[in-house]
Amino acid sequence: MEKGYLSLVLHAHLPFVRHPEDENFLEEKWLYEAITETYIPLIWVFENLLNDGVKFRLTISLSPPLIAMLTDSLLQQRYLKHLNKLRELAAREVSRTKKEQHEVHQCALMYQNMFEKAYKTFHYDYQDNLVQAFKKFQDHGVLEVITCAGTHGYLPLLGIHRETVRAQINLAVDYYREYFGKNPEGMWLPECAYNPGDDKFLKEAGIKYFFVDTHGLLFSTPRPKYGIYAPVICPSGTAAFGRDMESSKQVWSANEGYPGDFDYREFYRDIGYDLDYDYIKPYIHPDGIRTDTGLKYYRITGKNTDYKQPYIPHHAREKAAIHAGNFMFNRERQIEYLSRHMDRPPIVVSPYDAELFGHWWFEGPMWLEFLIRKITFDQNIIELKTPGDYLEEIPNNQPSQPPMTSWGYKGYNEVWLEGSNDWIYRHLHNCAERMIELANNNSGGEPELIRRALNQAAREIFLAQASDWAFIMKTGTMVDYARKRTTDHVSRFTKLYKEIKERTVDESWLKKLEDTDNIFPKINYEIYKTV
């Protein structure tokens, strides 16, 4: 008889990056890499388990921008071109490495098989639309697919206008319903960032639960009787689940967790940088910028050393199995202990960025599959449950109010509000104030051209609000792109605002914007109306 529950939660999100004007836009590779290295490998895991009759429950959040990109025909076709280049490169590598070390040649064969299988999965099994795969798994009862705020806006810093928070939440729920045919059970608040009172809008939208970081639950008022091992119920009636730091750190920490094992693949050693330029040139950026190809032949080997030994897949697979067993053992002991001190089954919530699995930690998907199989067949203490399952079984939980919190560095707002990015908020707040004004002052009976402009204005402000841009500015990677995206969307909104006010909308320019920033085709600007 199980004594408690483990809730594995994967948060899948990428910022909306789509540039029809440039077929080789560097930042679009974020999506292509994630599809090949994370989303498709996770689909293989779920398919393997389903085919073998393994019963399991897992939670995955698909953000609206990610869904928009996965269902966009232009990006789908560009991804196929990208994948075909990888297939060509892998075939060349199989031929080239015949004279290399045996282990390197075996790696080349592994990548060739991986890319060929990925092509079949993407193009033939799911007709270029991977959202269909996740819906299938939800319909089979093994996944609980949840949503995330509209464009991954950092809600505590946007909440000066409450209409903005409501709009981000309602947009996400409407968009989810369009693809999954039902209301989402839960919502991943971007960056696990919660501000007291935001749960009211979640409740209004039909959301039953969300997540906060460890301290977000422990510092709730009153203090939770069960710590982070049971949810609390916010004043609105929406449940908040807290992250278990112990289980999370074992997986995501490169220094203390499994991904740093010396037998695992080295992420930072790619043939895009290692091989002769003339040979690799057709497979990197056309401007000659060396980029990752995804073909990496070396293992981590050791800390603080440039010397790397060849990657040996079956050694890594053995380690993944060992680490899955270790993770399960730790959760068994954890839940055994907790169950002796609680009057209800404890739930250990382990949330991760989905892109950790496969992209950053190549062996992550196989670790996940080993773990699920071991939990199913090798023990009787843990049961996999989703937060929605838990609330259905145990609906009566302690009322408490979590504080403002995030899972960023130091636990609050510092990552998204500091010297590198604080300048964006006066512009975002000004745009929000103007968007609310437009929504309140237009009744819905305006001419078609004006309505199109109003809807596009809403798209532009949503895209400007993405937390990704502030995060990138803080971390110092691709900063120019993040600054440009912020200023571009703010400038476009400002021009639309003036043209709407003056009823002088430039239709040709508007059409260009609609074709470029085409996220949320059914958006209704009235989502910003004051209620």
Three-state DSSP class for residue 241? strand
What b/e readout covers 91-116, taking b as 16+ CB neighbours within 10 angstroms? ebbbebbeeeeebbbbbbebbbebbe
CATH assignment of 419-528?
1.20.1430.10
Phi/psi of residue 108, each to 5°? -60, -40
Please, what are the averages of pLDDT over each run of 10 residues along the chain (531 residues)? 94 97 90 98 98 97 98 98 97 94 95 98 98 98 98 96 98 97 97 97 98 97 97 98 92 85 96 95 89 96 89 97 97 97 97 96 98 97 98 97 95 95 98 98 90 98 98 95 98 98 96 96 96 86
Question: Which pLDDT value is given to residue 285?
Answer: 87
Closest CA to 239 of 210, 275, 279, 200: 210
Which residues have C-beta within 8 Å of that of residue 131, sequence separation ≥ 6?
Answer: 62, 67, 70, 71, 179
Question: Which pLDDT value is given to residue 308?
Answer: 94
- What's the whole-model pTM score? 0.97
Question: Which pLDDT value is given to residue 25?
Answer: 87
pLDDT digits (tens, 9 = 90+) for 482-531: 999 999 999 999 999 999 999 999 999 999 999 999 999 999 999 999 98
What is the amino acid identity at position 190? P
Which residues are known to be catalytic?
Answer: 191, 353
Packed helices 313-339 and 102-119: angle between N→C axes, nearest 10 degrees:
70
Question: Which pLDDT value is given to residue 481?
Answer: 96
Per domain, the residue ranges of the chain are: 8-71+129-244+348-409, 419-528
Which residues have C-beta within 8 Å of that of residue 502, sequence separation ≥ 6?
Answer: none
Q: Is the dihedral of CA 225, 227, 229, 230 positive or negative?
A: positive
Do 8-71+129-244+348-409 and 419-528 fold alike per CATH? Answer: no
Question: Which pLDDT value is given to residue 286?
Answer: 85
**E-assigned strands of 47-204?**
58-62, 143-148, 187-188
CATH assignment of 8-71+129-244+348-409?
3.20.110.10
pLDDT digits (tens, 9 = 90+) for 60-114: 999 999 999 999 999 999 999 999 999 999 999 999 999 888 999 999 999 999 9
CA distance 403 to 122: 42
Question: Which pLDDT value is given to residue 461?
Answer: 98
3-class SS shares of the chain: helix, strand, coil, % to 5: 55, 10, 35
Three-state DSSP class for residue 351? strand
Could you tell me how far CA 384 lies from the centroid of its own chain? 21
Pairing, β 4-12 against β 209-212: unpaired
